[in-house]
Each structure stands twice: as C-alpha cells, then as structure tokens.
A and B are shown apart, each in its own frame.
Chain A
Amino acid sequence: MTTKGERLSLIIVAIVVAAIVLGPLFLLFANSFKGDEQQILRDLGNYRAFFVLPQDASLTNFREVLSNTTFPVLRYMWNSGIIVVTIVVIGIFVNSLAAFVLSRMNFKGRDLVIMFIIALIIIPMEAVAIPLLLMMAQFGWVDTLRAQIVPFIAHPFSIFLFYQFFSTIPKDLDEAAYVAGASRLRTYWSIIMPLSLPTIATVAILQSLEYWNAYLWPLMVTRGSEARPISLALGQFFSTPPPIWGDIMAFSVLMSLPILVVYFAFQRWFVQSTISAGVK
C-alpha cells in the first residue's frame, strides 16, 4: 500500500514530532539534575539545555527542594494524594450508583433526573467558584482538605459516562438475578460493577488528572501548607522571584512522577479515557 519513500518520510515526520514533544520534557529532567545553577543559566540558551552530562548530574536540587521548610513538598504531595484518592474512590461509588439507578430502575421522574444531570455537565467549575467559596467560609471549611474533596465527589459527567456504559450492558444479565431475589444493590455490586472496569478506569483517570492538576480552586480555598495541594504549591514556588531553575525543575519532576508512573502502567486506559472525555 505505502511506497518505500512514503514509509521513510512517515518515519522522519514521526521522529520530528517526537522530538518536539520530548524536547521540553528532556529540558525538565536535565535541568532538575544539574546541581549548578550557574551552569543551568549558561545552558539555558542553547542545545545543552536539553540534556545533562553524567559528570554534571547530581541530586542537589532534589535534596534542596525536599529540605525546604517553607515549601514542604512531601506534605503537598500527601495532600494532593489524599484529595485525589478520596475523590476518585468515593466518587466512583456515588456516581456509578446514581448511574445504575438511572439505567436500571423504574421510578417516577427518572427521565427528568437524567435530563437534569446532563444539563449540569456544562456548568463549569469556574462559574460556581465564588459562591462555593462563600459556602466554604460559612461551613468553616476554608483551608481544609474537605473543601477540596467534598464538593467534587458527585460529578455529573462521570454519572453520564457510567450511565452510557450501563445502558450497553444487556438487561437480562441483572434482571434475572433480581427476579431471582437478589437486591438491586446486590446486582449493582456483583454483576454490573465487575463488568464496568474500563469505565471505572476512565472515570478514575480523568478525575485524577483533573484534581492532581487543580489550580484555581486551591488558590481560592487554601492558605497555608496544611491543606495546599502540590500543583498550587509548585505554582507559588515558581512565582516567587527570582526563579531558581534547578529547584523549580526538581519540584516539577517530583510533581510529575506519580502521574507518569501511573501513565506508563496504564497507558491503554489513558487513551481510552481521553476518547470518553471527548464525547462530552
């Protein structure tokens, strides 16, 4: 089908694109390992910015960042970890249960609830941030992890994704068990959920990326290190002049590592989840 010439040019283009994609990432890792800030500054403006020679590599930046008392990086990672895991785990149950009810059970007002939830998908978080902040202040939740978790557990789009998937599972499967006397909850838990792993992964990945990277809301609702997530902390570390590139890049690498590890482990799911997000 494809000629030799075409094949060659495809490979060349693919490699060029890969270089464009990888360049900034090489810069990130290279600079995080360059212990000498002066050298980073010297290398910043030429091709040497993208790699580090073995004799220049050191862990100095990481040591500096990890021992910084004003910016306790591990604390921030811990905060972000708690936030993301709690939202994802509780969110999967709450949202899938709602979707299960909507796709499987007959009750008055079902269609209305479905329409209501689909309509809510388009309300962007940004549009409700300020009233939400007032509410958090009322609850006394400002500067807590709660404020970054509880409002985001129920998620109309996740409900929609689950609902879509559940609708494709043949009804006979669980109806039979239900008629045989299993409770609705039982069929949800032992029949539907085990079939839904791909959707669970999709929702988990989309939510994890979103809350690991959250910036605007934590900026409004946290004040000190106690509840601040890693993304905002890095943003503030970066915006405190003058920039110390080695430390900034080491901080960035630390922030990116967990997500990269998960990405390499579950690459296929990531791609799948992106397609789902596009269906919005």
Chain B
Amino acid sequence: MALKSKDQKSAWSMLTPALALIALFILLPFLMSVVLSFTDQRLVPNANVPTKFVGARNYIRLAEQGAFLNAFFRTATFCILVVPLQCFFGLCAAMLINSTLPMRNLFRGIYFLPTVISMVVVACIWSSLYQREGFFNYALSGLSLGNAGPVDWLQNPWTAMASLVLMSAWQGFPFQMIVYLAGLQGINKDMYEAAQIEGANRWQEFKSITMPSLRNTHILVVMTTTIFAFKLFTQVQLLTQGGPASVTDTLVRVMYMEGFRGGKVGVGAAAAVIFFLLVLVISIVQRRLVKEERAIQ
C-alpha cells in the first residue's frame, strides 16, 4: 500500500515530460485544427477583417470547389495503384529471400536500400530517368523498335500519375518485403512438407498455404501502406506540383496550398480535419479486420 501511494506521485512526475510535450505539440494543435476549421483565421492576421466563426463554410467551400474532391480522387487513385504494386513486389521479394536462394542476406541487404534513400534524393534520380532525353524514353524507343515516340512522363496527364506510382513503389517496397518476410517466417514449415508429400505443386502450395497464412500480414501491410500513401506530398511537390492538369494533386498538397501558401488557415484546417478522419477510418477498418481474425482463431 505504501509502495502504491509512492508510485502514485512519482508516476505522474515521471510521465510529465512526455505528457506535457504531447499535450502541447500534438493534442493542442490537433484541437486547434478542429476549432480553426470553423473560423476564417488567416496566416497573417488582417486588421480590416478580424477572425470570426464561419460555421461549416470552409467545409462547404472544399466540397463545392473541385480542387479538394479532385485531390481526394487523385490521392485515392495513387493509393489504389501503389498499394497493390508495393505489396506485390514486397511479397515476391520476401519469398525470394525466404527461399533457398544462395547469398540471401546479401540480396536482402541490397533490396532494402531504396527505403534508406530519402524521397527527395529518389525524386532527383527518377526525374533524370523521366526526362524527355532520359533513360525511359530510350528504353521505350528501343523496345518499340523506334515506333513509340518520346513521352514527357511527368508532364503528360496520362503518364504523370503512373510515373509517380512507379517511383514511389520502387522506394517503398522494401518495407512490405520485410513485413512479409516476418510473416513468411512465422509459417509452420511442416505444412509445406505435408503438402509436398501429397504432391502439391508450387502454385498450389502458394495458394493454399502461403496466402491464407499471411492473412493478418496482408491486412497489416495493406492498411499501413494505404495510410502512408495517403500522406503523398514530397514527390508531388518536387516533380509535378500537382500537375499536369491537376492529375497529381493530393490532399496534403491542398492543405499546404490553402492553409500555408494561400494563407487561409481555416480552409487548410478543414482539409486537415477531413484528412485526419479518412486516416481514422482506415485505422478503424484495420483494427476491426484484425480483431475479427483473432476472434475466429
């Protein structure tokens, strides 16, 4: 009892640094975001037009004006393209490394490299590949025997998003690879042996043992990748600035452009709140799915 009451006091004092910082730099700004989203707060206050509550006006503006819906749609497109691609590459690479491949550790070390490289550096490198005179056009013309003309990969509305997706998948797939690797290593080896005795081929093994055993890993990987992809900003700001024809605009970019560059903090905050709600929904879906699985087991 004496121990407990001693704990009571010292516990809170030891928690203070973390809780104070969290309250000040995460909770407070988050609550401010919510409150500001109902005002017409400006980044640079103006004496002529004092800040006031404007109800849901910022949200209405976002809904009315195509830019936000477009950004939502484009961000979703990015997710829909990049998530399966990354997961697919991640799983393939993980299975390679989990196989009897010689020098597995060397390959694992190599495959992991892109994730260590900063997105800014990746954008610089890939931008040179995507140049009109760059390697991809050289490869395209070679593969098509000179029939396909040079493409402005990042300036063409039809290829800009795909180009960003490819680049992001290259940079990001090692993450999925490692998580899948952990999942694969958790599968009981006996199951494969039993299957082989029954004469199953590799594809059947993959379909009836590997994939089902990875169910939770799939959910985990897909959801974390989706949330991560939702925050798309750096590569867009560096390579396309949302263009061409706004096909690569993103939610975070709208937030940035409205709230920061445009100085309309209220509108930016409203976009941030919606962005947060979307992330929240994805997280809840993930937890539900994982829980369901646990309940079944």
Which residues of A are interface residues toward B (Cβ below 8 A)?
1-2, 6-7, 10-11, 13-14, 17-18, 20-22, 24-25, 27-28, 31, 41, 44-47, 49, 94-95, 97-98, 100-102, 105-108, 110, 113, 117, 120, 122-124, 126-135, 150-154, 156, 159, 178, 184-185, 209, 212-213, 215-216, 219-220, 231-232, 234-235, 238-239, 243, 245, 248-249, 252, 255-256, 259-260, 263, 267, 270-271, 274-275, 277-280
Cβ-based interface call for B78 (8 A): no
Do the beta carbons of B123 and A25 come within 8 Å of each other? no
Residues of B close to A124: CB separation below 8 A: 227, 231, 275-276, 279
A36 CB to closest chain B CB (Å) equals 15
Taking CB atoms, residues of chain B closer than 8 Å to A280 are: 224
B17-38 Cβ-contact flags toward A at 8 Å (1 or 0): 1111110011111101100100
B: contact size bracket:
35 or more
A213 and B15 contact, CB distance less than 8 A: no
Kindly state whether residue B256 has any CB partner on chain A within 8 Å: yes
| Assembly CA distance A106 to B221 (angstroms) | 35
Q: Contacts A27-B128, A130-B268, A153-B21: A105 and B11 contacting too (C-beta < 8 A)?
A: yes
Knowing A14-B107, A107-B7 are in contact, say whether A270-B116 is a contact too (CB < 8 A).
yes
Residue of B nearest to A153 (CB): B21
Q: Does B118 contact A (CB under 8 A)?
A: yes
Q: Are B133 and A212 in contact (CB under 8 A)?
A: no
B248 an interface residue at 8 Å Cβ cutoff?
Answer: no
Q: Give the secondary structure class of B's interface.
A: helix
- Measured between C-beta atoms, what is the minimum distance from A267 to chain B in Å? 6
For the complex, give the distance between the alpha carbons of A108 and B12 in Å: 10
Assembled-state Cα–Cα distance A123/B269 (Å): 14
Give the CA-CA distance A11 to B128 in the complex, in Å: 30
A249 touches B124 (CB 8 A): yes
A-contact bits for B256-272, CB 8 A (1 contact / 0 none): 10011000010011001
Given A27-B129, A259-B117, output 5 extra A-B contacts at Cβ < 8 Å: A7-B101, A100-B14, A105-B7, A131-B28, A184-B14
Chain B residue contacts of A117, Cβ below 8 A:
22
Q: Is the CB of A126 within 8 A of B14?
A: no
List chain B residues, Cβ under 8 A from A10. Answer: 96, 99-101
Interface-facing stretch out of B134-142, B154-162, B206-214: B134-142
* Distance, CA A103 to CA B73, complexed state (A): 42
Closest approach, in angstroms, between the C-beta of A45 and any C-beta of chain B?
A: 4
Chain B residues near A220 (CB-CB < 8 A): 256, 260
B265 touching A11, Cβ below 8 Å: no
Q: Does B54 contact A (CB under 8 A)?
A: no
Q: How far is the CB of B238 from chain A (nearest CB, A)?
A: 6
Q: Of A94, A151, A185, which is in contact with the most chain B CB atoms at under 10 Å from its CB?
A: A94
Interface flags, B167-200, vs A, CB<8A=1, else 0: 0001000110011001000000000000010000
| Docked complex Cα distance between A110 and B4 (Å) | 13
Cβ-based interface call for B109 (8 A): yes
Q: With A31-B128, A94-B18, A260-B116 given, is the CB distance from A239 to B238 under 8 Å? A: yes
List the B side residues contacting A127 at CB < 8 Å.
Answer: 30, 33, 272-273, 275-276, 279
By a CB distance below 8 angstroms, the chain A residues around B196 are 1
Contact A238 B128 (CB under 8 A): no
Contact B170 A113 (CB under 8 A): no
CB distance from A50 to the nearest CB of B (A): 8
- Tell me if A's interface is mostly helix, strand, loop or mixed: helix
- Chain A residues whose CB sits within 8 angstroms of the CB of B227 once the complex forms: 122, 124
The interface residues of chain B lying within 8 Å CB-to-CB of A25 are: 113-114, 117, 125
Does B276 lie within 8 Å of A97, measured CB to CB? no
Most buried by B among A94, A117, A127, A234: A127
- The reply to whether B99 and A2 form a contact with Cβ atoms under 8 Å apart is yes
Cβ–Cβ < 8 Å partners of B117 in chain A: 25, 256, 259
B70 within 8 A of A: no
Interface string of B232-257 (1 = CB under 8 A from A): 01100110000000000000100110
Given contacts A45-B138, A107-B8, A124-B279, whether A275 and B26 have CB atoms under 8 Å apart is no
Asked if A21 and B114 make an inter-chain contact with CB atoms under 8 angstroms apart, the answer reads yes
- Smallest distance from the beta carbon of A190 to chain B beta carbons, Å? 16
Question: A102 — which chain B residues lie within 8 A by C-beta?
Answer: 15
